[in-house]
């Protein structure tokens, strides 16, 4: 099975092919990359609004979907919750999420290059 692994290279991330053994049950995955991404936070989830994903270029969206499909083929989600409620917060207080409606992808503020 082939997964896509990220490798930082200056200001962008490059996809690198990584081969996982077919014996999924005995595979131990390296957690360092994800732990470094989350930093020192005790966060258990990474939430991305659908509108943000839809605002990305088509090729990026296709890569994202393929990576998610690869993950789903690797993990047995039978006993793992797949449904969540999400509420936007700032400084521990609930706030309005202007991007909760996925049709708002054209309003996403991009960084200027």
Give residue-wise pLDDT tens across range 19-49: 555 555 545 567 888 888 888 888 888 889 8
pLDDT of amino acid 104 = 65
- 14: exposed, middle or buried (C-beta count within 10 Å: 0-12, 13-18, 19+)? exposed
Cβ atoms of 52 and 101 within 8 Å: the answer is no
Cβ atoms of 100 and 52 within 8 Å: the answer is no
For the chain, the structural domain boundaries read 2-107
Helix (H, G, I), strand (E, B) or coil at 83: coil
Mean pLDDT for back-to-back runs of 10 residues, the chain (113 residues): 45 49 57 85 87 91 95 89 89 88 72 77
């Amino acid at each position: 099975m082939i997964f896509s692994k990220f490798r930082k290279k200056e200001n962008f991330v490059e996809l690198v092919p990584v081969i996982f053994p077919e014996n999924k049950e005995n595979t131990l995955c390296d957690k360092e990359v994800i732990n470094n991404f989350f930093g020192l936070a005790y966060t258990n989830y990474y939430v991305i609004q659908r509108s943000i994903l839809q605002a990305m270029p088509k090729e990026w969206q296709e890569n994202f979907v393929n990576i998610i499909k690869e993950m789903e083929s690797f993990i047995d989600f039978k006993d793992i919750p797949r449904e969540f409620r999400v509420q936007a917060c700032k400084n521990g207080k609930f706030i309005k999420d202007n991007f909760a409606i996925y049709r708002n992808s054209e309003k996403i503020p991009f960084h200027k290059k």
